[in-house]
Structure 1
Amino acid sequence: MNTIYYLASCDTCRKIIKSLPKGNALKFHDIKQDSITVAELEEMHRLSGSYEALFSRKAQLYKSMDLKNKALTEDDYKKYILEHYTFLSRPVFIIDDKIYIGNSQKNINEVLKVLNEKV
């Protein structure tokens, strides 16, 4: 199933969701209300190739926990993402077994293009 993992309280996520074409057939997964499961994260890892690609260095906890001064491993990235939703780079779209991570304009344009082709 095509899914968007997002944070409902995030202004950027809300803006992106508003820009999605109507009838997009996405399953909406608010990561704060419904935590990511190990299986979901492992699927994201399979599609992206690394946990680091899914990890957000913009998270407030990243700074407050002083993680930038630690040598994090793939296992660390996985652990932190599972421990707290804020460590997942958002939004994450999985569409037709392809993953789109983050809110860069290029990434969102690709998502919109794919979704518009499906509508």
Structure 2
Amino acid sequence: MKKIYHLAHCTTCQAIIKDTGITNKNFAMQDIRTERITPAQLEEMKNLAGSYEALFSRRALKYKEMGLKDKQLKEEDYKKLILEEDTFLKRPVVIINKQIFVGSEKKNVAALKEAVK
């Protein structure tokens, strides 16, 4: 399976998609704003990434707004927050067979480029 979870209006996601050539490689693309992530999809991502926390973005504006930085969050909290608010998912999330690439860190994008080749 080749799938990418992204936000269509996110310039970082757009740049990574363009830079890696994902659109030309037969990937199923899911804009998480228009087609919400299902619990089953999130569970699959968690199984590949190792935890919900690994999928959670602390850069989201709502993270500060909701006072989450001052709370001790548990795995179930991360899961619930990601399902409720798409901005809490580190983006993009790319799944290539049994490999997962989460977020926009340089080392992650470099590894994604290698996997897409």
TM-score by length of 2: 0.95
Q: How does 1:55-74 map to 2 (within 5 A)?
A: 55-74=56-75
Query: CA separation in 2, counterparts of 1:23 and 1:56?
Result: 27
Query: CA separation in 2, counterparts of 1:49 and 1:17?
Result: 24
Give the count of matched residue pairs: 116
Q: CA deviation at 1:20?
A: 2.3
Q: How does 1:22-61 map to 2 (within 5 A)?
A: 23-61=24-62
Tell me whether 1:12 sits opposite 2:12 in the alignment. yes
SS of 1:5 mapped into structure 2: strand
Which runs of structure 1 show a deviation greater than 4 angstroms over 4 or more consecutive aligned residues?
none
- 2:77 partner amino acid: D
- 1:8 partner amino acid: A
RMSD: 0.9
CA-to-aligned-CA distance 1:37-80 (integer Å, 9 cap, x gap): 00000000111110000000000110100100000000000000
In structure 2, the residue matched to 1:115 is 116
Which range moved further: 9-18 or 34-43? 9-18
Q: CA deviation at 1:29?
A: 0.7
CA-to-aligned-CA distance 1:71-106 (integer Å, 9 cap, x gap): 000000000000010000001011111111100111
SS of 1:9 mapped into structure 2: coil
Tell me whether 1:101 sits opposite 2:102 in the alignment. yes
Q: CA deviation at 1:109?
A: 1.1
In structure 1, the residue matched to 2:87 is 86
- 1:48 partner amino acid: A
- 2:18 partner amino acid: K
Q: CA deviation at 1:17?
A: 1.1
Query: CA separation in 2, counterparts of 1:24 and 1:106?
Result: 21
- 1:19 partner amino acid: D
Query: CA separation in 1, counterparts of 2:115 and 2:99?
Result: 10
Q: CA deviation at 1:23?
A: 2.7
